[in-house]
Amino acid sequence: MAKEIKTIGVLTSGGDAPGMNAAVRAIVRTGITKGYRMMGIQRGYNGLINGECYEMNVRSVSEIIHRGGTILYTARCLEFKTQAGQSKALARCKELGIDALVVIGGDGSFMGARALANQGIPCIGIPGTIDNDIACSEYTIGYDTAMNTAVEAIDKLRDTTQSHDRCSVVEVMGHHAGYIALNVGIATGALAVLLPERPFDFERDILARMRQTQVTGKKHFIIIVSEGVISAQELANQIQATTGVDSRATVLGHIQRGGSPTVRDRVNASLMGYHAIDLLDKGIYNRVVAMSGDKIVDYDVNVALSMHKTIDMDMLEVANSISI
Ligand SMILES: Nc1ncnc2c1ncn2[C@@H]1O[C@H](COP(=O)(O)OP(=O)(O)OP(=O)(O)O)[C@@H](O)[C@H]1O
Ligand SMILES: O=P(O)(O)OC[C@H]1O[C@](O)(CO)[C@@H](O)[C@@H]1O
Ligand SMILES: [Mg+2]
């Protein structure tokens, strides 16, 4: 028997991602349309523990579909990882009358949602992270915008790199996942793409590829490195010391997390937000919303958290074959 839900809370958690606002908008408006009271919880699980929340109406989410960041703010909450923190959050849900929760965030945030679900609060997770590292979903909200932001920046770097016959080593985000690096590497025509999924070999991945292109007259080089493989500055120093090519390092950093979401992020966030409320409305609880092909699907939270995702190494082969 489905539990009766009157009030649904929504929060954003972990790193922010462009499109989170579009998801919040869809969740709040779908919820209100279906007759629920909607509560916005600020600063992720911190806000849940502290009771930082407010009732939202259809106008609370006006003028946000095009805005990056999250109007609900976000946080990483260490206390919530503890049993004591989770008990406080549960007590707060009871006090505020929050019967169910929609959590927009990454895998860590879904572990938090599962902890609450195990204590009787129906939860739905929506993948919101630029890293695209949610195993059950082919796509995460913010991923497309982040890649476009990185491409725009690297196109600019290309101009100056070419003008000076230099090598640019560019570090992109990814948090142990090379999805941003691989796609951005192909989209910018980078000579080399270094992924966390593949052990790095300086001679094979950099030097041999530089020599091969130098023979055909190439004098400037773009190298994309996913965060954590090697520091961009260290790699640029090594390249300059070994090849004599003047090299510079650029860390794109948190620029990749901001900005107005792309069409793809806005549309997927809207579809996922609607789907999350639709599940709760049908009495289907403790699911993670995901994308499979161009369809919105959902998985049991335990299944979702036990899944693994692998990067398409054929794409690296394509990148390496074309950038010569
Ligand atoms: N094992 C866990 N149990 C309970 N709560 C957790 C757990 N792991 C993470 N959380 C909660 O979720 C929050 C966000 O997790 P985390 O920092 O891993 O980010 P994320 O949701 O994976 O997003 P991203 O990696 O994109 O920044 C944590 O600060 C914590 O409050
Ligand atoms: O600086 P912060 O907020 O801890 O986030 C850094 C991490 O967040 C991510 O951007 C994901 O949001 C990762 O790629 C990165 O490692
Ligand atoms: Mg994560």
Q: Is 156 annotated as a binding residue?
A: no
Pairing of strands 295-300, 287-292: antiparallel
Distance CA 8, CA 140 (A): 22
CA of 265 to the centre of ligand 2 (A): 18
Q: Are 100 and 121 in contact (CB under 8 A)?
A: yes
Q: Which residues contact ligand 2 via a Cβ below 6 A?
A: 15, 129-131, 173-175, 227, 257
Q: What is the crossing angle of helices 107-118 and 83-96, to 10°?
A: 70
C-alpha distances (whole Å) from 310 to each of 32, 145, 198 are 38, 21, 11
Q: Which residue, 162, 152, 122, 128, is CA-closest to 142? A: 128
Q: Which atom of ligand 2 is nearest to the CA of 228?
A: 16
Closest residue to atom 5 of ligand 1, CA basis = 112
Q: How many other C-beta atoms lie within 10 A of the C-beta of residue 108?
A: 17
Closest CA to ligand 2's atom 3: 15
- At residue 37, what is the residue type? R
Residue among 16, 42, 74, 109 to mutate when testing ligand 1 (max atoms within 8 A of CB): 109
The residue from 131, 133, 205, 298 that is catalytic is 131
Burial 170-183 (b: 16+ CB within 10 A, else e): bbbbbbebbbbbbb
Residues 6+ apart with CB under 8 A from 255: 149, 153
Which stretch of DSSP H or E encloses residue 179? Answer: helix 179-187
Q: Is residue 88 part of an annotated ligand binding site?
A: no
Asked whether residue 158 is marked as a ligand-binding residue, the answer is yes
CA gap 138, 17 in Å, rounded:
16
Q: Which ligand is nearest the CA of 110, by number?
A: 1
Tell me the pLDDT of the chain (324 aa) as tens digits: 466 899 999 999 999 999 999 999 999 999 999 999 999 999 999 999 999 999 999 999 999 999 999 999 999 999 999 999 999 999 999 999 999 999 999 999 999 999 999 999 999 999 999 999 999 999 999 999 999 999 999 999 999 999 999 999 999 999 899 999 999 999 999 999 999 999 999 999 999 999 999 999 999 999 999 999 999 999 999 999 999 999 999 999 999 999 999 999 999 999 999 999 999 999 999 999 999 999 999 999 999 999 999 999 999 999 999 998
Binding site annotation covers 123? no
Q: Tell whether 281 is in a known binding site.
A: no
The pTM is what? 0.96
- Protein residue closest via CA to atom 19 of ligand 1: 14
The protein residue with its alpha carbon nearest to ligand 2, atom 13, reads 175
Residue 257 alpha carbon to ligand 1 centre in Å: 17
Contact assessment for residue 172 and residue 203, using Cβ atoms and an 8 Å cutoff: no
Ligand 1 midpoint to CA 77 (Å): 7
Report d(CA 53, CA 154) in Å as an integer.
Answer: 39
Rounded to the nearest angstrom, the distance between the alpha carbon of 175 and the centre of ligand 1 is: 13
Q: What is the ipTM of this complex?
A: 0.97
- Give the Cα separation of 95 and 89 in Å (integer): 10
Q: Any catalytic annotation for residue 131? A: yes
Å from CA of 175 to ligand 2 middle: 7
**Ligand 1 pocket by C-beta < 6 Å: which residues?**
13-15, 45, 76-77, 80-81, 105-109, 111-112, 115, 129, 131, 175
Which two three-digit tokens encode residue 320?
């390496």
